[in-house]
Structure 1
Amino acid sequence: MLKRLARRDPELAMRLLGQAGAVLRDLPASGLTRAQLAAKALGDAHALDGGQPAATLVLAALRHHEKSAVTPESGLADDAVEDTETGKPPERERDIWARAGVLVNELARPALLLNLPVHPSSTPPGMKGEPDYLSLRRLLRTRFEWAVERKRVYVCENPNILSIAADRLGAACSPLVCTDGMPAAAQRVLLTQLADAGAELHYHGDFDWAGICIANHVMQSFNARPWRFGSGDYVDAFASIPQKDRDLMGDGVSASWDPSLLDHMRAHQLAVDEEAVAHLLIGDLERQNVAPAAPVAGHS
């Protein structure tokens, strides 16, 4: 890569290495914008823009560092070369920068959440019972202390589910996060923070091929568990929706958590939107907040 970027010019190669080293010495950052980092380290606010040689080298170094830190026991895919098999989306530059604490388009696609608890010393992310958004900028700069160790945090694919949960349950709803489709940088940072804080993430999405791709990524990247998202749940779900034309085409995508799901979806060729089972999901979100009844004297 260095030969290509430097066009086989040794002097240019040394300059590029020096630039990459100067940037890497300032990492990880704490919510610094990419332009600020470039201006601070290289004296040019655009030196780390997409496609710039120094940016390409720095991103390669960050990828290599992350791959070296992944152990075989983790079960995580090492690189985008495995995307076809795992359903993991190609890595985007802004996601790699975000993990290094650098902001790129930090206000785009904020993470949608409801009732995420924090420790008393931490800033609450929003009003209890009301949906709220956290931008990538705020997630990297605020450093929330999530009070989720060994607690179940639900994750849905579609904003409508979170909206319905807020309307039906309000402050009584279990902690809920929405990926809003394939997680972008803000959603990935939030889910990583929750997983690192010890949360038990439970995921549900659309029963269609795109939904399975998203679920594969969430399950594998954040050690999430399926939430009413197995083959039996699919069979029950499509049996309860109004009759419609078959709308699942193609070979399909295998679900990493339930290989038999692919066979069932191929056989029936029917997609089931997450909203179609909203009543079941809302029931789970409510039941997790119901305190167990006090035992009656003489009964266990």
Structure 2
Amino acid sequence: MWSWLEGHPVVAMQPALSDWVAAVRRAGLSGGSVTQTREDLERALKVLAVLPASGIPLPVLAEQTLLDTHALDDGTRCSGLVLRALAAIYDRPSPVDASERRALWEQAGITDDELSSVVLAGGMRVDGDSVVGRVLRLCADAGQPSSLTLRQIRASELTSVPERVWVFENPSMLALALNRFGAACPPIVVTSGWPSSAGVLFLRKLAAAGCELHYHGDFDGEGLRIAAHVIARTGARPWRMSSGDYLAAVADGPPVGRTTPVPWDDELAEHLTRMGTTVSEERVATTLLDELTQRHPA
């Protein structure tokens, strides 16, 4: 059973879950039963497979995945398994009280708030008369960033999207791009660290409309976990996130923190651990923006 868990597609897509797998294994069988333990894990993995969600309430998530609105209530075994897995993904301590559990669910896109969840974009021109399309075009033509709420994204159909969108981890990259390109800025979306519900839904809608998503983030422990998360949940492709890219840019800098393997480069986490130094997006900004110039000539 443990081999099944270690090789499960959800775990394989997010190697940060290896710590969760190890903890589950140490905890042993539920009630001494292999069958019960596997059933519990299958239920938890069903939930993890659809997270982060797009700002839905917890009972809705439970109904959609487990056909029981109370299956993820506080105190249930499934809720505990999922929350501990999320803590591993986001590199946070396991929650010990209601406020910490609520914060962890919110980070995974479980919320009723459609207004505070936002995503930044720039240089995006999307056809159609939806509110998102109009806001994006207006801001792109003015060489300004746009801030889209989850409510706006939910209400908008995206058509005739750009062929490629460049996804960055840090808002400073969008600022640098707008300063350099102005109204000719290539299409960019920013996750602002761990992506919000709005960010995940926006990227998923772009991908569903036929857009290629290319992701770049910081070369540090958390940056790799964010990258793996975005790639697994939106279908984005890693862009200049290889061992070679890291080694070509590494110099003095802050420590990388705890690293975990990533699916697209088996040696990348090892290189970060060995070198021990972060390479931020800002350090390689010129290289990244130069490539955008080549890909999107004025």
TM-score range for the pair, normalised by the shorter chain length: 0.5 to 0.7
1:285 to 265, 273, 292: 292
Trace 1:59-74 onto structure 2 (pairs within 5 A). Answer: 59-64=61-66
> How far off its partner does 1:221 sit?
0.7
Separation in 2 of the partners of 1:139 and 1:249? 34
> How far off its partner does 1:148 sit?
2.4
Establish whether residue 208 from structure 1 lines up as the match of residue 220 from structure 2. Answer: yes
Q: Give the 3-state SS of the residue equivalent to 1:148 in structure 2.
A: coil
Alignment partner, residue 242 of structure 2: 230
Separation in 1 of the partners of 2:90 and 2:266? 13
Contact 1:59–1:93, Cα closer than 8 Å, also in 2: no
Separation in 2 of the partners of 1:81 and 1:165? 38
Alignment partner, residue 158 of structure 2: 145
Separation in 2 of the partners of 1:196 and 1:282? 26
Contact 2:216–2:239, Cα closer than 8 Å, also in 1: yes
Separation in 2 of the partners of 1:288 and 1:190? 22
Separation in 2 of the partners of 1:219 and 1:96? 20
Task: Spell out, residue by residue over 1:74-105, the C-alpha distance to the aligned partner (whole angstroms, 9 max, x if none).
Answer: xxxxx7776588779965488256xxxxxx22
Task: Spell out, residue by residue over 1:21-69, the C-alpha distance to the aligned partner (whole angstroms, 9 max, x if none).
Answer: xxxxxxxxxx9x98xxxxxxxxxxxxxxxxxxxx75443112337xxxx
- Which AA in structure 2 matches 1:64? L
Alignment partner, residue 124 of structure 1: 134
Trace 1:110-189 onto structure 2 (pairs within 5 A). Answer: 110-122=118-130, 123-126=133-136, 127-128=139-140, 129-141=143-155, 143-148=156-161, 151-189=163-201
Q: Let me know the Cα RMSD of the aligned residues.
A: 2.9
Separation in 2 of the partners of 1:116 and 1:236? 31
Contact 1:118–1:144, Cα closer than 8 Å, also in 2: no
TM-score, normalization: structure 2? 0.64
Higher helix share: 2
> How far off its partner does 1:152 sit?
1.2
Q: Give the 3-state SS of the residue equivalent to 2:134 in structure 1.
A: coil
Contact 2:220–2:257, Cα closer than 8 Å, also in 1: no
> How far off its partner does 1:249 sit?
3.8
Aligned-pair identity (%): 36
Total equivalences in the alignment: 214
Trace 1:88-127 onto structure 2 (pairs within 5 A). Answer: 92=106, 95-96=109-110, 104-122=112-130, 123-126=133-136, 127=139
Q: Give the 3-state SS of the residue equivalent to 2:62 in structure 1.
A: helix
Q: Give the 3-state SS of the residue equivalent to 1:124 in structure 2.
A: helix
Call closer, same or farther: CA 1:132–1:230 in 2, change over 3 Å: same
Call closer, same or farther: CA 1:222–1:91 in 2, change over 3 Å: farther
Q: Give the 3-state SS of the residue equivalent to 1:207 in structure 2.
A: coil
Contact 1:88–1:214, Cα closer than 8 Å, also in 2: no
Separation in 2 of the partners of 1:133 and 1:83? 27
Separation in 1 of the partners of 2:151 and 2:122? 19
- Which AA in structure 2 matches 1:147? S
Separation in 1 of the partners of 2:201 and 2:291? 25
1:273 to 269, 280, 289: 280
Contact 2:122–2:144, Cα closer than 8 Å, also in 1: yes
Structure 1 residues not aligned, in runs of 5+: 1-30, 35-54, 66-78, 98-103, 292-300
- Which AA in structure 1 matches 2:282? E
- Which piece of structure 1 moves more, 85-94 or 109-118? 85-94
> How far off its partner does 1:139 sit?
1.1
Separation in 2 of the partners of 1:204 and 1:134? 21
Task: Tell which structure's C-alpha radius of gyration is larger.
Answer: 1
Q: Give the 3-state SS of the residue equivalent to 1:163 in structure 2.
A: helix
Call closer, same or farther: CA 1:86–1:257 in 2, change over 3 Å: farther
Alignment partner, residue 74 of structure 2: none
- Which AA in structure 1 matches 2:114? E
Call closer, same or farther: CA 1:147–1:84 in 2, change over 3 Å: same
